[in-house]
Amino acid sequence: MRDRTELKIGVVGGGLMGHGIAYLLAAAGHQVAVFEPAADIRASLAARLRAIVDLLDDDPALLQRIAAHDVLAPAVQGAAFVFEAAPEKLPLKQQIFAELERSQPPSSA
């Protein structure tokens, strides 16, 4: 059996792709922080994640490994990886990556 290391992982965007990415990472045993600035999408995140649990008949306890954030910096602080799942709008993505560079500087490892 392979030894698993639990990582903190950030996901930028909690919409169509982001919530699924967050779910899969949490199901693999990682702590996941989802940054979603839109209050309505952030508010629906728990219900959409719970729907996946129900569909796959998974352990609902895995949802405790997912936290939603309305600010980027705390969501990515200390993250080993950050997945970007924002809408396909170039100015938005440029803004996100500029903020990621300020919030999560490259590691020396």
The enclosing domain of 15 has a CATH number of: 3.40.50.720
Does residue 1 lie in a domain region?
no
Does residue 15 lie in a domain region?
yes
What is the pTM for the complete model shown? 0.88
> Which residues are within 8 A (CB) of 73 and not within 5 positions of it... i.e. 6 or more apart?
99, 103
Range of the domain at 67: 8-103
Q: Specify burial of residue 79 (Cβ count, 10 A radius: 0-12, 13-18, 19+).
A: buried
3 pLDDT band, cuts 50/70/90, is: low
The predicted structure's pLDDT at residue 61: 96
Q: Count how many domains the chain has.
A: 1
pLDDT at 59 over 80: yes
